[in-house]
């Protein structure tokens, strides 16, 4: 009986430690993005994880759509980056929300 209690206690401790590790937040990253290449801010945003920051430099020529599944990310242009919409008939930057659909 005593051996069974020790096994249960050890198993419970191990299970609790695993649950604790699973709930730890991931490391937020800062990804640098320079406008003017083949890539767009929109494609870079789709690769971000919650908590990440996209540090943008330069002049970007695109109409940017932030998809509704994008959550808790930061776009940082350091007060210098610009986005010039290619199509004046649509918003230069559009943030989509699930509630609007």
Which residue range forms the structural domain that includes residue 60?
26-95
pTM of this prediction exceeds 0.85: no
For the chain, percent helix, then strand, then coil, each to nearest 5?
Answer: 30, 25, 45
Burial class (CB in 10 A: 0-12, 13-18, 19+), 14: exposed
| Residue 1 domain flag | no
- Select the more confidently predicted residue: 14 or 77: 77
Q: Is the pLDDT of residue 66 over 70?
A: yes
For residue 35, what pLDDT is reported? 94
Reduced to 3 states (helix: H, G, I; strand: E, B; else coil), residue 6 is: helix
Whole-number Å distance between alpha carbons of 9 and 15: 10
| Residue 12 domain flag | no
| Residue 41 domain flag | yes
Rounded to the nearest angstrom, the gap between the alpha carbon of residue 28 and the centroid of all alpha carbons in its chain is 8
Task: Give the mean pLDDT of 52-79.
Answer: 94
Task: Give the mean pLDDT of 15-43.
Answer: 76
For residue 101, what pLDDT is reported? 44
Q: Is the pLDDT of residue 44 over 80?
A: yes
Q: In the chain, how many domains are there? A: 1
């Amino acid at each position: 009986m005593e051996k069974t209690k020790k096994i249960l206690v050890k198993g419970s401790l191990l299970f609790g430690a695993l649950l604790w590790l699973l709930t730890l937040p991931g490391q937020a990253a800062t990804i640098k993005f320079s406008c003017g290449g083949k890539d767009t801010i929109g494609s870079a945003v789709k690769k971000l994880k919650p908590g990440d920051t996209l540090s943008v430099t330069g002049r970007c020529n695109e109409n940017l759509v932030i998809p509704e599944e994008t959550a808790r990310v930061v776009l940082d242009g350091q007060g210098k980056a610009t986005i010039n919409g290619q199509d004046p008939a649509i918003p230069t930057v559009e943030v989509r929300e699930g509630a609007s659909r």
